[in-house]
Amino acid sequence: MDFEQNIPQPENLSRTLACKVAYDGAPFAGFARQAECDRVMTVQGELEHALRVLYRRDVRTTCAGRTDAGVHAIGQVVSFDVTEDEFASRTPRSLLRSLNALVDDHMSVSVVEEKPFGFSARFDAKWREYRYRISTAAARPVLIMPLVWHLGGVDLDIDAMNRAAVHLIGEHDFKSFCVAASAVGKPTCRNVMELEVFEEEILGQQVATVRVVGNAFLHSMVRTIVGTLVEVGRGRRNPEWVCDVLEARNRGAAGQNAPAQGLVFWHVEYE
């Protein structure tokens, strides 16, 4: 259920503000606000609570992309509308300070700026970028453990993963790569603009990073892409198998859903 639509808004809204938000996803039950009876902490719930305190009314927010429980972000964008008087009451700099003072410590607002009235963080986005990190170290990478999928001494063939990734670039039906229930009666075609796997070092630990850029993503699509590429990287499947997964249009044909903690919502691009 979309609880955003249940928030009545003033009729004299005339200004749009957008925030850039980062968060450690571990303590949150995802981005989206949930029914109050659920009594769980969400990113949207924290932001809207802070805005309610500041503007003394319920404020409807829109995000660039809803993240699942445990998924992190450094480049999430959230937009909302205010009245002329509300806009005049707080400068963007003042609002930024106030939001950071009110939200949970696992969140941070780095930018608050005015956008053209009617701007939507979701619908005006041109593309979104996610990054997923995998550690193959034999020993637990304790300092980055909350941010990676630790495979524990498994060797990954990065070249083979990249050869497999090529088959997923472009516009395809990604029904095999999303939660089956979320695809019922809904379009499942998406455009993956870039997909690559590369090695990098984080706090002295070598990780394999999967970087994916697309116009939009289905529920758990990135994590299923990662799980599928890992099957290839471990030598369990050949790179061409990914074509069979696409053609199957069946979630059971793909690899596992990679754990949430390795995924970061990295960036959103607007005109």
Of the candidates 2, 24, 58, 68, the residue annotated as catalytic is 68
CB 263 within 8 Å of CB 65: no
Which residues are annotated binding-site positions for substrate? 130
> What are the pLDDT digits (tens) for 170-190?
999 999 999 877 777 889 999
Active site residue 124: no
Helical axes 92-102 vs 43-55, angle rounded to 10°: 120
- In tens, the pLDDT along 80-102 reads 999 999 999 999 999 999 999 99
Question: Which residue reads 């670039």 in tokens?
Answer: 169
Residue positions in the annotated binding site? 130
- pLDDT score for 6: 62
On whether the CB atoms of residues 71 and 260 are closer than 8 A, the answer is yes
What's the pLDDT score for residue 10? 82
Tens digit of pLDDT per residue, the chain (271 long)? Answer: 344 456 677 889 999 999 999 999 999 999 998 876 567 999 999 999 999 999 999 999 999 999 999 999 999 999 999 999 999 999 999 999 999 999 999 999 999 999 999 999 999 999 999 999 999 999 999 999 999 999 988 999 999 999 999 999 999 999 999 987 777 788 999 999 999 999 999 999 999 999 999 999 999 999 999 999 999 999 999 999 999 999 999 999 999 999 999 999 999 999 8
pLDDT (0 to 100) of residue 180: 75
pLDDT tens digits along 110-120: 999 999 999 99
Write down the pTM of the prediction: 0.92
Residues 241, 232: contact at Cβ < 8 Å?
Answer: yes
User: What are the sequence ranges of the domains in the chain?
Assistant: 3-115, 127-269
CATH number given to 127-269: 3.30.70.660
Place of tokens 């941010």: 147
**DSSP string spanning 208-259?**
EEEEEEES---TTHHHHHHHHHHHHHTTSS-TTHHHHHHHHT-GGGS-----
Architecture (CATH level 2) of domain 3-115: 2-Layer Sandwich (3.30)
